[in-house]
């Protein structure tokens, strides 16, 4: 066998090409035999055991009964009752996503998200709140709360916008943050708080209130 460095370099490997290696085993008559491994099998092994698994879901609040739109109360953290789910991708095996549960009817509808243990880790959470009827120096905040164990605590604010002081009547606010999900924070919800005017949700331009959850690691 020639010195390995003398073999030509192939810059176009294919899934079926072989890599030579050692199969670690003490069973049978061969101890740690030399084996061929396909590039595809090595890539699959790394993906399944070491690479971060992408999980992405999108949720919207549409003006559909029983979670129809309603005027947002002033100066109150109001649950955003998302009522549609689009599971985009899950590289977990088997596929798994957060579970959205929406109960009740507007204005008392309530949406929570439950994360199984397989999805504990860091999540990027992007929240968009689209509102009408914004006047007179309204201030809009929104964020994520912990609802685990029946106790509600604020985790992180994602939106804090006073730009609506410009007297606009229709504006979409958006913010994002990295949130750690574990056994102590595996049930969450999202809330919006408007200082005045009891604004009304908007879907103008097919742009409703929306949430995107993306698993990072």
CATH of 55-215 among 3.20.20.70, 2.60.120.40, 3.10.20.310, 1.10.645.10: 2.60.120.40
pTM of the model: 0.79
- Give the largest Cα separation in the chain, rounded: 83
pLDDT-derived band of residue 42, with 50, 70 and 90 as boundaries? Answer: confident
What are the start and end residues of each CATH 2.60.120.40 domain in the chain? 55-215
Sheet strands (E) in the chain: 18-22, 34-38, 55-61, 78-79, 84-90, 99-103, 110-114, 121-132, 140-146, 153-161, 170-181, 187-194, 200-201, 209-215
* pLDDT per residue as tens digits for the range 63-87: 999 999 999 999 999 999 999 999 9
Look at residue 22 in the predicted model and tell me its pLDDT.
83
The whole-number average pLDDT for the span 185-204 is 95
* Residue 15: other Cβ atoms inside 10 A: 10
pLDDT of residue 165: 54
Residue whose structure tokens are 């009964």: 65
Of 41-45, 99-103, 129-133, where does the model show the most confidence?
Answer: 99-103
| 160 pLDDT more than 80 | yes
Q: Do 211 and 82 meet the contact criterion of CB atoms below 8 Å apart?
A: yes
**Which residues are CB-neighbours of 82 under 8 A, at least 6 positions away?**
59, 60, 61, 100, 102, 111, 190, 209, 211
| Residue 61 tokens, joined | 């609040």
pLDDT value of position 216: 92
% pLDDT > 90, the chain: 62
């Amino acid at each position: 066998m020639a010195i390995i460095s003398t073999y030509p370099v192939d810059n176009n490997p294919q899934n079926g090409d072989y890599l030579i290696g050692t199969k670690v085993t003490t069973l049978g008559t061969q101890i740690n035999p030399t084996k061929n491994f396909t590039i595809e099998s090595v890539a699959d092994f790394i993906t399944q055991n070491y690479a971060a698994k992408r999980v992405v879901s999108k949720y919207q609040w549409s003006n559909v009964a029983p979670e129809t739109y309603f005027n947002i109360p002033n100066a109150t953290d109001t649950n955003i009752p998302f009522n549609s789910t689009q599971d985009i991708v899950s590289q977990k095996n088997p596929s798994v996503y957060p579970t959205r549960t929406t109960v009740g009817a507007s204005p008392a509808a309530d949406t929570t998200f439950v994360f199984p243990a397989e999805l504990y880790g860091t999540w990027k959470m992007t929240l968009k709140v689209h509102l009408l009827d914004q006047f007179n120096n309204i201030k809009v905040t929104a964020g994520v709360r912990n609802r685990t164990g029946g106790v509600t605590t604020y985790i992180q604010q994602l939106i804090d916008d006073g730009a609506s002081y410009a007297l606009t009547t229709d504006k979409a606010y958006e913010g994002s943050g990295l949130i750690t999900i574990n056994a102590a924070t595996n049930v969450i919800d999202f809330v919006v708080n408007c200082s005045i005017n009891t604004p009304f949700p908007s879907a103008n331009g097919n742009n409703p209130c929306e949430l995107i959850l993306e698993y990072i690691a």
